[in-house]
Amino acid sequence: MSRLKKIETDKDSSGVKKPRKGRKEMINVTGMRDILPQDQKYWQAVSKVAEKVADDYGYGRIETPILEYTEVFARGIGKQTDIVEKEMYAFEDSGGDNLAMRPEGTAAIIRSYIQHGMINQIQPVKLFYAGPMFRHDKPQSGRYRQFYQFGYEAIGEPNPALDAQLILMGWNCLNELGLESVVQVNSIGCPTCREEFKKALVKYYKPKTKQLCESCQRRLIKNPLRLLDCKEEGCQKFKDGAPQILDYLDEECKKHFMKVLEYLDELDLPYVLNSQIVRGLDYYTRTIFEYWSNDDSEGKSAMGGGGRYDGLAEILGGRENTPGVGFSMGMDRIVSKLREKEINVTETYQPEIFVAQLGESAKKKTFVVYEKLRKKGFKVAQAFYKDNLKTQLELANKLKVKFTLILGQKEVGEGTILVRDMEGGIQEVVDFNKIENDIAKRLDKWHQQKLEKFTAPEEGDMPEVRPKGEKRAKDLEDFNDEADSNFEGAYGGGDAMFSGDNEDY
Ligand code: AMP
């Protein structure tokens, strides 16, 4: 298939310019995408929360390679799962090794746990990971072929308290991002009780074979548990009458599950017992769970999921009875929910000061000022490649900085620098050698004022009930509108207070 896309139009439907008719441009692989600078703030917000939760609960970061021997996933996830059967990017490399791009994190982490003898460390070994995963899935909304997950695994401890704490950790991740979710919880028992359940499922579904979708007809033979997971309308109607796994749990599995639920009750976590979630990976035992957005009643785009996998280490060549429990979160889905809900996340690059210059000697000096401020930790921007002062001030305004420091030939001669408040348009002359202290004080004052503005409603005002992010977004919008009009006012009439030799201004 060609990797070149023929461009049909000069503009797309939203009016965005495209390369001219007939031109061919390279495009990305289907189901994969670029995450552009303007989107990074969402991804970084998610990463930050994921890392914070890992720190809070004592999970250390692990990185496993993107490529593993195919066997790690085939054996770990299960040869008859959709992931291994249809979705894995698996190939033979030039040296004849069968390799696969990781479709998920857990199997490779268990491989690493065994390989590095982590069983000799204090158990459970608590690990955190984040990175791209690859599945040759049908591309559709919320489903990519390269997608990103972060996750946590606790290996070596069978206690149900750990299941409950991990469930809480995932909920906390979403909650800290401002997303409301409901945890769907189930138990699929151990391989022994599951066998009985599978038989009961086959018995129930077999007479309905002809009414099932094609995938379910295959599942009936190869992986009957997944019959419960089908999202096709024609198959949904049979779910309610299907046997329930909870009726097939043996005493130990039942006890384990009851304990998990007791802890969840104690934590007051919003969860739903859902006997129809089964998860798509074979390694799960006992507790399984998914995180559904509170506006997604069918789990069509679950934000994450996981469970216990007490047999996985043994399958991968580790010691018998090595327990484990964990979950992963889909970053792509979380980011799209943050956008959909218009949750405000902090800009990753939000400078507060801009350093502007006019004339060659001023430019040289501002290089030094910029470096000094940057090293001291100020959030500072510049455009030394621009000579025109107006252009620089326009850029400073677009970047929404609070102060612009302006240096021209005159200021260089006098040993001063101008501090322009971009909000009010007022400029003050400051001693060049005192600029760091001066600007630090001004910024402190501004931060304090912003804090008061956000936290103190006027007396008698009924505070509007809005999500936290929305409130911030609205206030910032007002603030920026104000700053825009002030800037226009100060420069629109050409009466800038700048007094340097503004040759190209
Ligand atoms: P899984 O590894 O299948 O248990 O999936 C865990 C989470 O990863 C899901 O709840 C999704 O949020 C996310 N995820 C799984 N597959 C994809 C995909 N193809 N595209 C985007 N996100 C995915």
Residue 336 CA to residue 301 CA, distance in Å, equals 11
- The pick from 43, 83, 133 for probing ligand 1's pocket by mutation, whose C-beta has the most ligand atoms within 8 angstroms, reads 133
Pocket of ligand 1 (CB under 6 A): 104, 135, 137, 142-144, 147, 149, 280, 302-305, 328, 330, 332-333
Assess whether 332 and 414 both reside in one domain.
no
Residue 472 domain flag: yes
Q: What residue owns the CA closest to ligand 1's atom 21?
A: 143
C-alpha distance from residue 98 to each of 108, 236, 315 (Å): 15, 38, 19
By the 10 Å C-beta count (0-12 exposed, 13-18 middle, 19+ buried), 100 is classed as buried
Q: What residue owns the CA closest to ligand 1's atom 1?
A: 305
Q: What residue owns the CA closest to ligand 1's atom 13?
A: 330
How many A from CA of 402 to the centre of ligand 1? 41
pLDDT digits (tens, 9 = 90+) for 62-88: 999 999 999 999 999 988 888 998 899
Residue 174 CA to residue 291 CA, distance in Å, equals 9
Residue 178: pLDDT above 70?
A: yes
Looking at the chain, the whole-number percentage of residues with pLDDT higher than 90 is 70
Pairing mode, if any, of strands 403-407 and 353-357? parallel
Assess whether 23 and 112 both reside in one domain.
no
Identify which of 387, 333, 64 has the alpha carbon closest to the alpha carbon of residue 179. Answer: 333
Assess whether 129 and 53 both reside in one domain.
yes
Number of domains in the chain: 3
Residue 247 domain flag: no
Assess whether 395 and 317 both reside in one domain.
no
Residue 192 domain flag: no
- Specify the pLDDT at position 9: 47
Which residues have CB under 8 Å from 484's CB, separation 6+?
397
pLDDT digits (tens, 9 = 90+) for 262-311: 999 999 899 999 998 988 788 899 999 999 998 887 777 899 999 999 99
How many A from CA of 403 to the centre of ligand 1? 44
Assess whether 378 and 444 both reside in one domain.
yes
Residue 237 domain flag: no
Question: What tokens does 35 get?
Answer: 């995450």
Averaged pLDDT of the chain: 86
- The pick from 102, 146, 149 for probing ligand 1's pocket by mutation, whose C-beta has the most ligand atoms within 8 angstroms, reads 149
- The pick from 144, 182, 328, 334 for probing ligand 1's pocket by mutation, whose C-beta has the most ligand atoms within 8 angstroms, reads 328
Q: What residue owns the CA closest to ligand 1's atom 6?
A: 304
Query: Residue 474 sits in a domain of what CATH number?
Result: 3.40.50.800
Assess whether 335 and 360 both reside in one domain.
no
Which residues have CB under 8 Å from 413's CB, separation 6+?
none
> Cβ of 2: how many Cβ atoms within 10 Å?
7
Residue 219 domain flag: no
Residue 213 CA to residue 444 CA, distance in Å, equals 64
Helical segments of 33-159, H only:
40-56, 70-77, 82, 106-115
Question: What tokens does 274 get?
Answer: 């859902």
Residue 186 domain flag: no
Residue 372 CA to residue 411 CA, distance in Å, equals 18
Assess whether 113 and 166 both reside in one domain.
yes
What stretch of H or E contains 254?
A: helix 251-267
Angle at CA of residue 284, ends 281 and 290, nearest 5°: 75
- Specify the pLDDT at position 236: 84
Q: What residue owns the CA closest to ligand 1's atom 14?
A: 330
Query: Residue 328 sits in a domain of what CATH number?
Result: 3.30.930.10
Assess whether 47 and 84 both reside in one domain.
yes
Among the atoms of ligand 1, which is closest to the Cα of residue 142?
21
Residue 144 domain flag: yes
Query: Average pLDDT for residues 105-126, to the nearest whole number?
Result: 97
Residue 130: pLDDT above 90?
A: yes
CB neighbour burial string for 377-395, b if at least 16 within 10 angstroms, e if fewer: ebebbbbeebbebbebbeb
Q: What residue owns the CA closest to ligand 1's atom 18?
A: 143
Assess whether 326 and 408 both reside in one domain.
no
**Structural domain containing residue 114:** 37-180+310-340
Residue 136: pLDDT above 70?
A: yes
Residue 265 domain flag: no
3-state secondary structure of 481: helix
Query: Average pLDDT for residues 471-478, to the nearest whole number?
Result: 34
C-alpha distance from residue 118 to each of 155, 162, 313, 456 (Å): 9, 18, 12, 52
Residues in the chain: 505
**Rounded (10°) angle between helices 435-455 and 360-375:** 60
Assess whether 12 and 132 both reside in one domain.
no
Q: What residue owns the CA closest to ligand 1's atom 20?
A: 143
Q: What residue owns the CA closest to ligand 1's atom 11?
A: 330
What is the signed CA dihedral for 246, 250, 254, 256, rounded to 10 degrees? -130
Assess whether 19 and 45 both reside in one domain.
no
Assess whether 43 and 138 both reside in one domain.
yes
- Specify the pLDDT at position 15: 54
How many A from CA of 39 to the centre of ligand 1? 20
